[in-house]
Amino acid sequence: MKGKQSGSRTDIYARITEKIVADLEKGVRPWVQPWRVGDASGRITRPLRHNGEAYTGVNVLLLWSEGVARGFSSPTWMTLRQANELGAHVRKGESGATVVYASRFKKTETDASGGEVEREIPFLKAYTVFNCEQIDGLPDHCDRRPEPAGSPVERIEHADRFFANTGAEIRHGGSKAYYSPVGDFIQMPVLADFRDAASYVAVMSHESVHWTARPDRVGRDLSRYSTDKTARCKEELVAELGSCFLCADLGVVPELEPRPDHASYLQSWLTVIQNDQRAIFAAAAHAQRAVDYLHALQPKAETERQAA
């Protein structure tokens, strides 16, 4: 059994970035892998902690990728200590998956004039978790399998209500999907132009993440989107990840094939991530904030996550 992770904060960024890069170099978007599982009729969910709470940000990508690579069907993960506290044990020879915890602590320093200033110092810690399928002796309630998904029609109706509740102006027509920062509206082709309704929801989720960027919403800078290829690439990665997170929350299986414009972004994403070991962490964090914002716009009855 291998559990404990070691290494500096830089090593953590490097190790996780290398994992993402390895998939991208094969032409695989690791955040899309979960939708390729055999039982697509079940409810799609984010990875879950031992207490049923959903993982967020870059940990979603790490555990989705790990689960698919190892063929796990359970979405639930826990540390060695958590398993032991439940009277269970990780099987001998099993290796865990890396997840990270990011936070900040405050430090008081003396500035150039001799005064005291308080700085926030970010830190990143890696730890190891194991899937429930690697653990023997767990109580039945620990492996929280998602309830069977509703019918495709019910899921699409739920998604339609979700997007309507955001208050975004959504226009239909034409052959392109995009968010217009100038007009502050989302433009979508009509539903009939998509391969299926789930593909429509995936694209609508993508554009809705773009919609959150305005300063009075989440506040991502899109000022260089049209003129700077790298800035555009980073924003598209945020929207790509946010779309996958949101589709999981809505219980809708997104498109299995890339959109045509994704092919041109794949190499750009690879370049950006290779040049900046923090890029995938930043993109996942921005995507998470965007999705959280969209959930916060829902009536209370609509805010229950599919993964919870």
pLDDT tens by residue, 264-286: 678 888 889 999 989 999 999 99
3-state secondary structure (DSSP) of residue 25: helix
Q: What is the per-residue pLDDT for 8?
A: 62
**Highest-confidence range of 33-42, 121-130, 215-224, by mean pLDDT?**
215-224
Task: Find the range with the poorest average confidence among 22-36, 80-94, 281-295.
Answer: 22-36
Q: What is the per-residue pLDDT for 43?
A: 61
Distance CA 143, CA 158 (A): 26
Residue 10 predicted with pLDDT over 70? no
Residue 307 predicted with pLDDT over 70? no
Residue 133 Cα distances to 46, 168, 268, angstroms: 16, 41, 36
Q: What is the per-residue pLDDT for 188?
A: 96
pLDDT band at 176 (very low <50, low <70, confident <90, very high): very high
Q: Average per-residue pLDDT in the chain?
A: 84
Could you tell me if 146 and 306 are in contact, meaning their C-beta atoms sit under 8 angstroms apart? yes
Residue 241 exposed, middle or buried by CB count within 10 Å (0-12, 13-18, 19+): buried
Q: What is the per-residue pLDDT for 211?
A: 98
Q: Which helix (H) or strand (E) is 125 found in, with range?
A: strand 116-131
Q: What is the per-residue pLDDT for 38?
A: 45
Percent residues over pLDDT 90 in the chain: 51
pLDDT band at 19 (very low <50, low <70, confident <90, very high): confident
Mean pLDDT of 198-226: 94
Mean pLDDT of 32-56: 71
Higher-confidence position of 136 and 145: 136
Residue 53, both tokens: 């709470």
Q: Which pLDDT tens digit goes with each residue over 224-251?
A: 999 999 999 999 999 999 999 999 898 8
Residue 222 predicted with pLDDT over 50? yes
pLDDT band at 145 (very low <50, low <70, confident <90, very high): low
Distance CA 160, CA 149 (A): 17
Give me the phi and psi of 57, to 5 degrees please.
55, -140
CA quadruple 168, 161, 153, 40: dihedral sign: positive
Q: What is the per-residue pLDDT for 73?
A: 84
Q: What is the pTM of this model?
A: 0.83
pLDDT band at 255 (very low <50, low <70, confident <90, very high): low
Mean pLDDT of 88-115: 83
Q: What is the per-residue pLDDT for 291?
A: 97
Sheet bearing 170-172, strands edge to edge: 170-172, 185-188, 178-180
Mean pLDDT of 110-136: 83
